[in-house]
């Protein structure tokens, strides 16, 4: 046996064993393995996509305008704080893109012109957020939301999620295998804007507020007080339950609109257990060094007043500040379950979304649909595979058996490589696998027909095989390269399932070249290793 034949044979066997090594975690037999034996293999193999195992498909729209408003509000607060440090007493207000100051003053105008170039003066005491910067802020809000959602889902524990941007301000999320869609939606879409605000009990309006209102009475209350509130006041509600009827109620609070501390000042958030309240979970907060100093100053300035802890516009608690609080820690309680407390701690630790999300599509795919697709795919693949194998055997005889060997090797290597890459298999991905297998059979047909022509011309079996491979090489190579280029274009410009199809097709093309030009050729060389071979079963 020639030395290069031995090397090629060793290469084929090595690749086949390597493919089996990575494919074992995806095979049903691996479930029955002992823990010790299973530890010898990789932990993950091929993962089924959303359309095969069921799950959640969500499309969120990022409110870019609100992201700009939040940015402008924080900008106004920073200007006011910096002005106070310079001895300039003023009240800054924001409305959309506009920032106003009362009183304005020359020194304040100079400060803004020097430090805040994104604001354009439109008159005495009025500035507008730069339009170009506002556009960039909207675009950045989508990118930031995408990254924070990705981090949240990683913490949530979903295997192989698909997250990508769509259009100008939409985010598409696919979560295969999610068992609790409602919890996942709440977890992902929670803005997590945490703010600490002072309850304005000194205002006469506070005495006019009812102790509690029903859910239906919330809008009525806000309408009644709409014209009574000053620009720096707002009414927010705490959720609760009527002790007599058990119906849900809302407890109104009159708050100072300015947030004295925000979630940006946090360094950590974690779940703790309150043993005094029957082991009820709550979220304990730890502030950064700057946040701890700010919390110390704020609590010292407002001793005897109530500080409301507000999350996404809902009051969770409003304890009285008994004394200056040092150490930089606080807590959020609110009859949490352990899962809700854990989810809240995660989103607070990762950080708030830059803008609210609006869900515009919510599709739950049941696992039964995936099972039906898998069964249909298995049946179609089995029938198609058997027909191809039988046809190759009948039409090309022993050479057809060699082609069937290449077909099995092709499938083994393709699935093994997909398993090694932890590939997520979807229905379009299965289509790519089937197309790649079809190309493998087509390559063998081209070579066999060339070999038949050479045998008819009177050449020996060995010469016919060598000549057939040589003459068919560039035809096979060109067809595979053009298919590979098409797959690259689909991968570059496609999204989701289209990319899955492109990946499986690309891998199949590369493996086809190996099995068709090296795999089958090695088998023929082994058969023809002796010069006395006088016929070829083809």
- pLDDT tens column, 494-506: 766 788 888 888 8
% of the chain at pLDDT higher than 70? 93
Task: Read off the pLDDT band of 355 (50, 70, 90).
Answer: confident
Sign of CA dihedral 537, 512, 462, 464: positive
pLDDT in tens, 296-347: 888 898 999 999 988 888 898 888 888 888 878 888 777 778 888 888 888 7
Q: How many residues are listed for the chain in this entry?
A: 538
Task: Read off the pLDDT band of 253 (50, 70, 90).
Answer: very high
**Burial call 332-367: b when 16+ CB within 10 Å, e when fewer:** bbbebeeebbbbbbbbbbbbbbbbbbeeeeeeebee
% of the chain at pLDDT higher than 90? 17
Coil/strand/helix, residue 153: helix
pLDDT for res 443: 86
Is the pLDDT at 177 greater than 60, yes or no?
yes
Structure tokens at 364: 């739950």
pLDDT for res 60: 93
pLDDT for res 27: 56
pLDDT for res 197: 93
pLDDT for res 252: 95
- The mean pLDDT value for 124-136 works out to 91
Task: Read off the pLDDT band of 29 (50, 70, 90).
Answer: very low
Is the pLDDT at 285 greater than 90, yes or no?
no
Structure tokens at 84: 């106070």
**What totals of helices (H) and strands (E) does the chain contain, helices first?**
16, 20
pTM of the model: 0.63
Is the pLDDT at 34 greater than 60, yes or no?
no
Mutual angle of helices 497-514 and 461-493, in 10-degree steps: 160
Query: Where do the structural domains in the chain lie, given as residue ranges?
Result: 3-53+366-527, 66-132, 190-364
- The mean pLDDT value for 270-283 works out to 83
Name which residue leads in pLDDT, 263 or 206.
Answer: 206
* Least trusted range by pLDDT, from 23-32, 54-63, 221-230: 23-32
The structure tokens 């696919």 sit at 174
**Burial call 81-98: b when 16+ CB within 10 Å, e when fewer:** eebeeeebebebbbeebe
* Least trusted range by pLDDT, from 41-55, 183-197, 350-364, 497-511: 41-55
503, 423 Cβ separation under 8 angstroms: yes
Task: Read off the pLDDT band of 222 (50, 70, 90).
Answer: very high
Calculate the average pLDDT of the chain.
84
- Rounded Cα distance between 392 and 520, Å, is 14
For domain 190-364, the CATH architecture is 2-Layer Sandwich (3.30)
105 backbone φψ class: left, alpha, beta (φ>0; ψ -120 to 50):
left
Is the pLDDT at 370 greater than 70, yes or no?
no
- Rounded Cα distance between 183 and 195, Å, is 23
Secondary structure element (H or E) that encloses residue 139, with its range: helix 131-156
Structure tokens at 495: 């999204």
Q: Which of 399, 448, 283, 297 is nearest to 349 (CA)?
A: 283
- Rounded Cα distance between 461 and 313, Å, is 82
- Rounded Cα distance between 500 and 432, Å, is 8
Coil/strand/helix, residue 161: coil
Going by their DSSP bridges, the two strands 47-48 and 424-425 should be labelled as parallel
- Rounded Cα distance between 158 and 172, Å, is 15
Task: Read off the pLDDT band of 208 (50, 70, 90).
Answer: very high
pLDDT for res 30: 45
Is the pLDDT at 369 greater than 90, yes or no?
no
Task: Read off the pLDDT band of 530 (50, 70, 90).
Answer: low
pLDDT for res 23: 81
- The mean pLDDT value for 222-241 works out to 90
Contacts of 353 (CB under 8 A, 6+ apart): 144, 145, 148, 149, 190, 191, 192, 193
Class of 3-53+366-527 in CATH: mainly alpha
Is the pLDDT at 519 greater than 70, yes or no?
yes
- The mean pLDDT value for 265-288 works out to 84
Is the pLDDT at 28 greater than 50, yes or no?
no
Give the single-character DSSP code of 163: E
Is the pLDDT at 362 greater than 50, yes or no?
yes
pLDDT for res 41: 54
């Amino acid at each position: 046996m020639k030395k290069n034949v031995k090397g090629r044979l060793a290469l084929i066997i090595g690749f086949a064993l390597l493919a089996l090594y990575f494919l074992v975690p995806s095979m049903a037999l691996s479930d029955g393995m002992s823990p010790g034996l299973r530890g010898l293999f990789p932990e993950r193999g091929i993962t089924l996509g959303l359309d095969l195992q069921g799950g959640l498909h969500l499309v969120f729209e990022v409110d870019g305008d609100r992201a700009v408003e939040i940015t402008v509000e924080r900008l106004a607060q920073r200007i006011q704080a910096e002005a106070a440090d310079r001895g300039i007493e003023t009240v800054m207000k924001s409305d959309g893109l506009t920032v106003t100051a009362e009183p304005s003053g020359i020194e304040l105008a100079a400060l803004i012109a020097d430090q805040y170039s994104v604001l354009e003066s439109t008159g005495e005491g009025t500035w507008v957020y730069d339009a170009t910067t506002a556009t960039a802020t909207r675009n950045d809000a989508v990118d930031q939301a995408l990254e924070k959602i990705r981090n949240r889902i990683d913490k949530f524990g979903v295997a192989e999620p698909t997250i990508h941007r769509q259009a100008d301000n939409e985010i598409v999320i696919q979560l295969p295998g999610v068992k609790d869609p409602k919890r996942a939606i709440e977890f992902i879409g929670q803005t997590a804007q945490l703010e600490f605000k002072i309850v304005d009990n000194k205002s006469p309006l506070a005495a006019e507020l009812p102790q509690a209102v029903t859910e239906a009475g919330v809008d009525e209350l806000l309408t009644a007080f709409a014209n009574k509130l000053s620009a720096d006041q707002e009414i927010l509600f705490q959720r609760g339950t009527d002790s007599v009827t058990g119906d849900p109620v809302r407890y109104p609070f009159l708050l100072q609109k300015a947030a004295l501390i925000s979630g940006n000042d946090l360094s950590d958030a974690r779940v703790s257990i309150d043993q005094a309240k029957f082991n009820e979970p709550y979220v304990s907060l730890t502030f950064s060094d700057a946040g701890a100093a700010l919390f110390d100053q704020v609590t010292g300035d407002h001793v005897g007043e109530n500080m409301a802890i507000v999350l996404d516009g809902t009051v969770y608690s409003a304890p009285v500040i008994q004394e200056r609080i040092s150490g930089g820690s606080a807590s959020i309680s609110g009859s949490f379950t352990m899962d809700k407390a854990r989810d809240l701690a995660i989103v607070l630790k990762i950080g708030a979304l830059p803008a609210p999300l609006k869900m515009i599509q919510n599709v739950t795919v049941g696992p039964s649909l995936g099972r039906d697709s898998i069964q249909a795919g298995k049946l179609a693949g089995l029938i198609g595979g058997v027909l191809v194998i039988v046809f190759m055997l009948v039409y090309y005889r022993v050479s057809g058996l060699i082609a069937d060997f290449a077909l099995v090797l092709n499938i083994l290597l393709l699935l093994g490589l997909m398993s090694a890459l932890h590939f997520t298999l979807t229905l379009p991905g299965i289509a790519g696998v089937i197309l790649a297998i079809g190309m493998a059979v087509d390559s063998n047909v081209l070579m066999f027909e060339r070999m038949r022509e050479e045998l008819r011309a009177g050449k020996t079996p060995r010469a016919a095989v060598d000549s057939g491979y040589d003459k068919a090489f560039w035809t096979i190579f060109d067809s595979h390269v053009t298919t590979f280029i098409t797959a690259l274009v689909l991968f570059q410009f496609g999204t989701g399932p289209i990319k899955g199809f492109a990946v499986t097709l690309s891998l199949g093309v590369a493996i086809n070249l190996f099995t068709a030009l090296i795999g089958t050729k090695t088998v023929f060389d082994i058969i023809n290793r002796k010069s006395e071979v006088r016929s070829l079963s083809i």
